[in-house]
Amino acid sequence: MSITVVGSVAFDSVQTPSGSYDRQLAGAATYFSLAASYFTDVRVVAVVGEDFAPEHQAVFDARNIDTQGVERAAGKSFFWAGSYLTNLNEAKTLQTDLNVFADFAPKIPEAYQNSEFLFLANIDPVLQRRVRDAMPRVKLVGGDTMNYWINDHRENLLRVLETLDILLINDTETKLLAQNPNPIKAAHAVLDLGPKSLVVKHGEYGATAFFGAQAFTSAARPFRAPALPLVEVMDPTGAGDSFAGGFFGYLASQPELTPAVYRRAMFYGGVMGSFAVERFGTERLQSLTRAEIEDRFALFRELTHLD
């Protein structure tokens, strides 16, 4: 089954304790689609500017990612500059230039309409809802968001949450969205807002899935998967989007969504996140093999399993 992802294709300048890079291909939809491409067919909806060169297109082409839905606009692509010099777990934003993203009006190619899965990466919830409504035939919808939308665009965000099968956000966002500092109570409060399930990302500590009463699997008990515990983090950028790509990519590659499939998808999410952070930018995600992915999956299993 194929996935359509809507989100940013961007350029990042990043400083980490391991070094820095300037205006490299990045963005949530880029990390997501590279990670997911090892599992299933991926289609991207985004907008880029005139700085999006053939070398950048080649990154998507090499992974057979469908970019019909990537609009070329006059001007520059979305640009973000950040630093992890003081805290490897949280980026300090140095600069954000929306550029062509300021007027982004997602257009869904007709050929994408048979996608079974849709992932709404972190963008304006008004656009997320519009894309969701424009793809009535999808069977499963996942979404991400961030503090800015939770704080200042709550009503619009709630209209997205009610359409989601799976919401993927981090600990801080969960507590903020629930307006409750207790992580367990917060998770259940978020489920009450509409998503059928919630995956709370814990950074280096992995992620925990919670299921609402309406969940599409019978895995009503929470599930925790590990993440990044064995690798040296060179660049945390894109870890969450790569988790989402591995998670949804694996889900979409399976004939049926069972509790066991959901659990393995969580592990694959952690695996893809761990690869992403080992090198700068998207470098590691461009050149993986499925064997490397399976080896790390086995390592994660060994890390957490009793027998």
Nearer to a copy of itself, 141 or 190 (CB): 190
Minimum CB distance to a copy of itself smaller for 88 or for 134? 88
CB of 252 to a copy of itself, least distance (A): 19
Q: C-beta of 303: minimal distance to a copy of itself in Å?
A: 5
Residue closer to a copy of itself by CB (options 63, 264) is 264
> Between residues 135 and 225, which has the closer beta carbon with respect to a copy of itself?
225
Judged by CB, which is closer to a copy of itself: 107, or 202?
A: 202
Contact between 55 and 61 (Cβ < 8 Å): no
Is 146 within 8 Å of 167 (Cβ atoms)?
A: no
- Cβ 263 to a copy of itself, closest distance in Å? 5
Cβ 297 to a copy of itself, closest distance in Å?
Answer: 10
Least separation, in Å, of the C-beta of 182 and a copy of itself?
7
Q: Which residues of the chain form contacts with a copy of itself (CB under 8 A)?
A: 88, 181-185, 202, 204-206, 208, 221-226, 229-233, 260, 263-264, 267, 299, 301-307
Closest CB 117 distance from a copy of itself, rounded Å: 22
Read off the amino acid at residue 248.
F
Nearer CB in complex with a copy of itself: 128/274? 274
